Chains A and B, each alone.
Chain A
Amino acid sequence: MSEPFEPKIVAFVCTYCTYAGADLAGTSRMKYASNVRIVRLPCTGRISPMFILKALQKGADGVLVSGCHPGDCHFAQGNYHARRRWTVFRALLAFTGIPEERIKFSWISAAEGAKFTELINGITGQIRTLGPFEQYQELQKVIETQSTY
């Protein structure tokens, strides 16, 4: 227990806005927490709730889902559809007791490198205080120790 807890955060981002925003943060030499692993997808409309569950199952302590601001979607409507889906999915997570504070949603445009940096640092700090997502990880451990595959 000598090493401090470093959370693993998976960020599902759309390639046209948030990924470009992250790129801007990089080219502007802004520093942000290295706990985040970015997964680039064509659109937030492509992000299935399965992705979020799978990330948590495979050991993520937090998940960020981020895309274009409403009205800015490259595919015109993808983020509107995604927003409805997240609303329902969040209610489902809350009802089944999966902590909502580990799953964050945001709009970050290609020009918001600074917002991306702040958000990543903020989320990493919050998840670090929350600690590891043991509820799920314990269940995963049961699988790994009991089954042969």
Chain B
Amino acid sequence: MGIQEQYRKEAAELLSSGEVKLVIGYGEGSTAERRRPVFVRSAEYVSRLVLDGSCVANLSSYLVPEGLLSDGKKVAVFLKPDGIRSINILAAESQLDPEQVVILGFDIEGGQAAPLPGRKASDFTALIGSLKSAGLSPELQKDADRLEQMSASERFGYWKEQFSKCIKCYACRQVCPMCYCRRCIVDVNQPQWINTSSHTLGNFEWNIIRAFHLAGRCVSCGGCDRSCPVNIPLRLINHRMAKEALDTFGHYAGESAEQQPVLATFRQEDPETFIL
């Protein structure tokens, strides 16, 4: 039995036993390689679920909408390790109760989906610990290093070119499981912190502030990169912020549901070499 049949069967069992009220998974998309989220509420529809190497999106963002979990019932969701980290962060930030999330865990190895044992976010602590010791993505770090070798004005030029493409569609915000604010700072107009028309300066501010708000929270699922219609390397900035949190404060986002958010805590001996 392949992994897809195995997980369809598990989803059907969860739904027919009444353990979960909803299964969030992947279904056929508009092209052969694309997957779109599928919401299954009854065991008879589990055949719509697809699980293969193309299932890359982080579905944890579908758990945050208001009211979904307020009835106390459980929801099952297909998650890769990055999605499980997102669940831990959302739990640490009091956005959901991890007990209400049943995880159908899998990982993609060599283009194929492989099952991960465990049902609750806490079952994956050891796995996430091994990811932390393996470190952040070396490919992204290579790109970051290339940028950091430039002079500041060259870097500014690079990002100016990238951000000048931004059309402020906010797809990056909508896809991100960490962007759950009911009123985003960019929508606040009294005072208007960020220019909403898509000129380069306003784009700079928007993307800088979003990166700042994701510092120490981004799990590098790559949703922003994939959803950006003009291909701004958003993940690269978020990677640089994750590196700062890891190198300076030893913080790896989403290690457990009890982990304090990096900017909501401090140590007296935090470095302060830059302060005059």
Contacts and interface: CB of A to CB of B under 8 A. Distances in A.
A70 B150 CA distance: 34
Interface in A75-130: 77, 80-81, 83-100, 104-107, 119
Contacts of B139: none
Pick from A88, A94, A104 the residue with the most CB of B within 10 Å. A88
A90 B263 contact: no
Given A57-B201, A84-B263, A95-B148, A143 B272 contact: no
Contact of B270 (A83, A136, A142): A83
Interface in B248-276: 248-249, 262-266, 268, 270-272, 274-276
A83 B208 contact: no
Interface residues of A, number: 41
Interface stretch (A2-10, A19-27, A34-42, A46-54): A46-54
Contact of A88 (B153, B155, B195, B263): B263
Given A98-B156, A143-B199, A91 B241 contact: yes
A105 B271 CA distance: 13
Query: Which of under 10, 10 to 19, 20 to 34, or 35 or more describes the interface residues of B?
Result: 35 or more
A136 B201 contact: yes
B169 to A, nearest CB: 19
A96 B159 contact: yes
A97 B157 contact: yes
Contacts of B244: 87-88, 91-92
Given A83-B275, A92-B212, 12 more contacts: A49-B212, A50-B209, A53-B208, A91-B241, A92-B241, A95-B147, A96-B159, A96-B208, A96-B237, A97-B154, A97-B158, A142-B200
9 contacts: A50-B209, A53-B208, A84-B265, A90-B274, A91-B241, A104-B276, A107-B275, A140-B201, A143-B195
